[in-house]
Structure 1
Amino acid sequence: MNNGISIYPGLDNTLEENLELIDKAAACGFRRIFTSLHIPETNVQALKRELSELLREARRHDMEIISDISPATMDLLGIKEFSPSAFRMLGITTLRLDYGFGLEEIVKLSHNKQDIRIQLNASTITGKLLSALVEMQANFRQIDALHNFYPRRGTGISEECLVRKTMMLHKLKIKTGAFVPSQGRRRSPLQDGLPTMEDHRDEAAELASRHLIALGIDSVFLADSLPTDEELHAIGSLSNDQVTLGAKLLTKDPVQRELLSHTFTARADEARDAIRAEESRLILKDMGMKIQPDNTIIRPIGAVTLDNADYKRYMGELQIIRTPQEADARTNVAAMVEESEVNMLQYITPGRKFSFRFKE
């Protein structure tokens, strides 16, 4: 998964802090860097002084560099005429087009010969604009999209808006990213977090990221100035092809623990009361092990259960409970989904992969 960090030369961090952030992010598996070259509060002289060194360090790690630009960016960088080659020479590999670019310019840029990618603003995209790009034969192989972030409280978009816009883009096979705020150093001047979705403003970055992935987002960007090491490690290892649930283990049995460490697929024949794993019984059979009765208590919403040997051929059946159920001596409660993440169950639709991140 091509997740990203954000770098703001001339704003909050020193050059040394930004260089270290790039190195740490690359080591954690991040492949992309977002930077904005038209933030009003930026120290322009510091930006000009630091930008080339930061871009050089990013290229050293073979990271994609996305620049949020507007026509005013050319004046800032001393570029006399807007052209993809001018940005390519600087080391910028993707241009996120902000205000001031019309349809004809977007289409023309999508056919550039310098291998510069074009990025659309996913939060402001409309069906009319996408239809026009199709009609004008834009090169969608060179186009992706990234949602906005929102510094002011109360201005982030809703889940419904994010899903609707992302689905429009996905119909044209346009990969789409979004931002989550960090609980580390938050970006100036408001320092109130930079989420795409307002619901994520005060949420842990890892949980917000897993929520975005569950909603279909293809890449997650840490938006703030200096994320924590824990955030970098957690988000750098996320996968975009599954829903990942935070859960607490309730069993010490090594057989159950081993089984729960796998990635599962929700069955196509969706049960009313639970999410059923398609392959858990076969995995247990391949392990050549048995599950003994253990912690056969009542099953509240979010309980992760494994059928034990007393359930005969159902031994190894893994379920996540959606409707509370009574205790059954044939079914072990092996783990519990974190209460704050029970709402994530709605995204495990038939055929969707899911896995767990366990807390003891």
Structure 2
Amino acid sequence: MENGISLYPGLDNTLAENLQLLETAAACGIRRVFTSLHIPETDTDVLKKELATILQAAREHDMEIISDISPRTLDMLDMPEFSLEAFQKLGITTLRLDYGYEAGQIAELSHNTLGIRLQLNASTITEEILTDLQAAGTDFSHIDALHNFYPRRGTGLSESALCKKNTMLKQAGIKVGAFVPSHGKQRGPLFEGLSTLEAHRLWQTDRAARHMAALGMDSVFLSDSLPLPSELQALGKLRADEVAVEAVFLTEDEGQRELLRHTFTAREDEARDAIRAQESRGLLKGTVVEPENNKERRRGAITIDNKDYLRYMGELQIIKKSQPPDTRVNVVGRVSECELFMLKYITPGRKFSFVWG
């Protein structure tokens, strides 16, 4: 996935904090940086003093620099007129056109020869806007989209609204990203988390990011000012179009634990009562699974068939509908109660894995 962090020169962090954040993020494999150049609370004097240094550091880490702009940006940067060349000289590689730009302007900008990409506001896109962009001759190969974040409680998107916008954009061949909040240093002026989905505002960052991946996001950005190192590490490990669910081991057997650490694919012939992994039996490599943990298989139980199930030995399942104990089936783990909702995203043909707590 093309994941990223957010930086806000002239707002919350010191220059040293922002430079350290870039360093840590790059070490975690994060290669995108979002910044906004039209936030009303920004100290424009500090912004103009620090921006070039921050952007230079991002370029040294080979990061894509996405700048959220509007007509107000020109005043903040003392630009006499809109100029792609001026943004290029700053080192900005993608412009997110928040508001104030017509379809004809966007279409013209999409054909620039400077290598600058464009980004649409995924949260406010409509069928009419897409139709106008297509009619204007926009080159969509140079465009992606990024949802808003919402500082005020109660104003974030619903999951259904987000998915509706995503479907619209992906049908046009446009990749889509979104934000999840951090629980390190949150951004002002409200300091209540910057989430795209309202449901994520108080969630653990790792869970929110994995939920976004389960929803099919192409990129996830940490929106707040100074994420925790653990949040950056989790974002660096996030995989596209994979459902990763938090779980706990219920077996001490290392052979079965090793099997459980793989990434699996849900079988296309979807069972009513369980999610079945199509690869698990083939991953045993001669290992014999001995019987253990003959327990009731409640919803969310993770099971492996033992040797008494004959040719089914090694079959891995996540239980969707509770079932009685079976001596041929080992209950080797369970999905955390707070993440049982994630099972609905493990649809036929979808990749899934476990985050072991």
Identify whether the pair has TM-score above 0.5, normalized to the shorter chain.
Answer: yes
1:155 partnered with 2:143:
no
1:68 partnered with 2:40:
no
Alignment correspondent of 2:312: 314
Q: Which amino acid aligns with 2:174?
A: I
Structure 2 distance, partners of 1:173, 1:216, is 14
1:211 partnered with 2:211:
yes
Alignment correspondent of 1:270: 270
1:87 partnered with 2:87:
yes
TM-score after normalising by structure 2: 0.99
Matches within 5 A, 1:203-282: 203-282=203-282
SS of 2:344's equivalent in the other structure is helix
Residue from 291, 297, 300 that aligns with 1:299: 297
Shift in Å at residue 76 of structure 1?
A: 1.3
Shift in Å at residue 133 of structure 1?
A: 1.7
> Is the CA contact 2:121–2:148 (under 8 Å) kept in the aligned structure 1?
yes
Higher deviation after alignment, 203-212 or 126-135: 126-135
> Is the CA contact 2:19–2:57 (under 8 Å) kept in the aligned structure 1?
yes
CA shift digits 1:217-247 (9 cap, x unpaired): 1110000001001101111111113111110
CA shift digits 1:69-128 (9 cap, x unpaired): 001111211222212111011100000001111111111111111110000000001111
List alignment gaps of at least 5 residues for structure 1: none
Shift in Å at residue 296 of structure 1?
A: 1.4
SS of 1:68's equivalent in the other structure is strand
1:29 partnered with 2:29:
yes
Shift in Å at residue 326 of structure 1?
A: 0.6
Structure 2 distance, partners of 1:17, 1:300, is 47
Alignment correspondent of 2:44: 44
SS of 2:114's equivalent in the other structure is coil
RMSD: 0.7
TM-score after normalising by structure 1: 0.98
CA shift digits 1:286-331 (9 cap, x unpaired): x211111111100111111000000000001110001111110000
Structure 2 distance, partners of 1:148, 1:234, is 22
Higher deviation after alignment, 3-12 or 125-134: 125-134
> Is the CA contact 2:217–2:241 (under 8 Å) kept in the aligned structure 1?
no
Q: Which amino acid aligns with 1:316?
A: G
Structure 1 distance, partners of 2:234, 2:323, is 33
Structure 2 distance, partners of 1:132, 1:277, is 44
SS of 2:303's equivalent in the other structure is strand
Alignment correspondent of 2:342: 344
SS of 1:34's equivalent in the other structure is strand
Alignment correspondent of 1:13: 13
Structure 1 distance, partners of 2:301, 2:83, is 56
Q: Which amino acid aligns with 1:254?
A: E
Structure 1 distance, partners of 2:83, 2:320, is 54
Shift in Å at residue 130 of structure 1?
A: 1.1
Q: Which amino acid aligns with 2:91?
A: G
Structure 2 distance, partners of 1:270, 1:349, is 8
Q: Which amino acid aligns with 2:307?
A: A
Q: Which amino acid aligns with 1:320?
A: I
SS of 2:150's equivalent in the other structure is coil
Structure 2 distance, partners of 1:135, 1:189, is 40
SS of 1:210's equivalent in the other structure is helix
Alignment correspondent of 1:58: 58
> Is the CA contact 2:10–2:43 (under 8 Å) kept in the aligned structure 1?
yes
Shift in Å at residue 186 of structure 1?
A: 0.5
SS of 1:49's equivalent in the other structure is helix
SS of 2:35's equivalent in the other structure is strand
Alignment correspondent of 2:322: 324
Q: Which amino acid aligns with 1:80?
A: P
CA shift digits 1:138-186 (9 cap, x unpaired): 1011000000000000000000001110111111221110000001111
Shift in Å at residue 136 of structure 1?
A: 2.2
Shift in Å at residue 135 of structure 1?
A: 2.3
List alignment gaps of at least 5 residues for structure 2: none
Structure 2 distance, partners of 1:225, 1:331, is 48
SS of 1:332's equivalent in the other structure is strand
Alignment correspondent of 2:332: 334
